[in-house]
Amino acid sequence: MFTAAEVGAASGPRTPGTRPSSCRRGPDPRAAERGVLPECNSEHGRCDYYLEEFKENAYKDLAWKHGNIHLSAPCIYSEVMEALDLQPGLSFLNLGSGTGYLSSMVGLILGPFGVNHGVELHSDVIEYAKQKLDFFIRTSDSFDKFDFCEPSFVTGNCLEISPDCSQYDRVYCGAGVQKEHEEYMKSLLKVGGILVMPLEEKLTKITRIGPSAWETKKILAVSFAPLVQPCHSESGKSRLVQLPPLAVRSLQDLARIAIRGTIKKVIHQEAASRSGSGLKNTPRCKRRRVRRRRMETIVFLDKEVFASRISNPSDDNSCEDLEEERREEEKTLPETKPDPPVNFLRQKVLSLPLPDPLKYYLLYYREK
């Protein structure tokens, strides 16, 4: 998903005719967001991670690179999200976290009690990711629809992670992994965990089924730039990357999570009660007019049938009639724009008899 710019993969030679971090087949470009997180597509899309002048290309099935900033083709996100088989409360390590797009989407699934870490080689990309994360928390309605596991990013080469770091339930590497680094990547995984990475020109899913037992599945052919090899210091020692510590949430934060969860349950119960009482308003459907064909004369003679003429809708000036009917239908059924989405959690919190500072704390001081 993330390649050279994020993980430190060199912009080295690639297979002719391919592009970095692209798949050789292309499902729906919005599938990653709509399929795995169907409600996030409209509020927090891929385009939010593009620079303003490039947003028109956000949902084309192409990778995008500008300087050190990189986003993979949408089909890659779709395959990776499906292969990771994410569940609430799991720990996730993104090797080559880049813009933070994948980490934010994963955080919506992991929930508040998961772990969401990322390693990125370029410090300027880390700053870009933090800006996008802040924008997401402040503005996206997805933040209130889902319980969020906020990602933490550290700068460094993902091949130099400290050997005493914790293992993870899910690991993704967004650059081409050389065969000699396969065992290193596996060592980051807990028993029962899943590792997804490009290995030998194939997006590969590896499941750790035992301390020394693995299941490997090739998902699809891809083209990724390779990982950058570590640069040793003058003393010859590598610069070990220290991953973020596993933080313990404060009692105040846990109370906020519990209160928001309780309010969401109330909202769902109220919605179920409304939908279960009374008749639902059926949507007004556009009635289709049927043009009937007219058979003028039928004669039965010795088991044979003769029809003198069958008139078609195109006869007797029917084209003008159809056009007139179409104009009449447009007048009687004007197009109605869908109502903007309503943030019921925000409405409910603001209506509570609480001091304003406490309300805004419950809303994470969000702008909308």
CA dihedral sign of residues 336, 338, 340, 344: positive
Please list the active-site residues: 72
DSSP 161: B
Mean pLDDT, range 29-44, rounded to an integer: 43
Q: What integer pLDDT is reported at residue 92 of this predicted model? A: 98
Alpha helix (H) residue ranges in the chain: 4-7, 31, 74-84, 101-110, 123-139, 142-145, 182-186, 251-276, 318-332, 344-350, 356-362
What string of DSSP letters covers 82-116? Answer: HHHT--TT-EEEEET-TTSHHHHHHHHHH-TTSEE
* Confidence bin at 247 (pLDDT 50/70/90): confident
Strand 22-23 vs strand 213-223: parallel, antiparallel, or unpaired? antiparallel
Check: CB of residue 104 under 8 Å from CB of residue 136: yes
64's enclosing H/E stretch is strand 64-66
For 259, the token pair is 């209160």
pTM, 2 dp: 0.74
Q: How far is it, in rounded angstroms, from Cα 309 to Cα 17? A: 61
How far is Cα 4 from Cα 176, in angstroms, rounded to an integer? Answer: 9
DSSP line for 225-248: PBPPPPPP-TTS---PBPPPP-PP
Q: What is the pLDDT of residues 187-244, one digit of tens each?
A: 999 999 999 999 999 999 999 999 999 999 999 999 888 898 888 666 566 689 999 9
**Which of these ranges, 47-51, 134-138, 315-319, 346-350, has the smallest mean pLDDT?**
315-319
**Would you state the structure tokens that stand for residue 107, as one six-digit string?**
């955080």
pLDDT recorded at residue 194: 98
CB distance 244 to 152 below 8 Å: yes
Domains of the chain: 26-231+239-247 (3.40.50.150), 249-264+350-367 (no CATH)
> Across residues 124-145, what is the average pLDDT?
91
